[in-house]
Structure 1
């Protein structure tokens, strides 16, 4: 991040509930279910009070659709970045996901081992690097402003505690993010601070 004279307030939200063409694991985007659309409208009402300057989303359709609903309510533009997408499923593509093929790697990430890699996919280091790069871009572009970032539950739960200096890496072990759950961050010259996690205030 650049030398931020004014803090950027970044609200990172998980996308709304989604439906998928297949129950098998893939990196496909899915689309918002009726419930997901209602959740996205509720999210729009929430962030409208924050006077967000822009909505940034991952390139997966369930996130883009969530962001577009919010942007329509708030009257701002949408910017898409691939770096905000969920971690890839790798060799698990086309499987049922039972048992959870990501559990060992995700547990290693939460335990601090970012060299662990999803078989056939990304390492924790790679996920953090591409996600952090986008958040730094967002913070530099919105000094003194509020902005909404729409992303995905897994990558948010892994990366955001690594970036926020007031959170432990395993902060989310027992705090899964609901659809359209929001993490409020502030960015300043010293880095990131989490102000709330899914409605829970943080010191």
Structure 2
């Protein structure tokens, strides 16, 4: 099986590579369109700022390539947000795979932004959450989040409920860092790699 990690200016690729090493997966880090299209699975990670990341993707045509992919795609953190319709961060039009907007957490006494640390997942749905207990804990670092919507496959609550995970067709996404979320994150990555590419 060929797994590709998309290389771009907001990818936290090193920790993703370590996580894949731990579960014995082989992978290729690339921004080459042909390599991405020929992969069985595609991982689209992210740490950074939405508008500069989208500008980089547009310069290389990856904003066109990624939404057109037919194999399973997993976006994480900023990678998830860029798969949404719009982000308030930098007033950014994103790729629109998920029909939902990304907004900054509102200021509220007792809550620090960014949302940083371990928090729980509820309302779990879909193949990525197979075998996960309700209220499983994962690790977040973010100031912006996607609203809860019909494509939400897991919810987290911080200031307000938000989409911790999304799924639409062959696209999967997680706001948290699965690669540093211990056994739960490892199970999510394993579940992603097990998704039947023939679906």
TM surpasses 0.5: no
| More helix per residue | 1
TM-score by length of 2: 0.33
TM-score by length of 1: 0.33
* Larger Rg computed on CA atoms: 1
| More strand per residue | 2
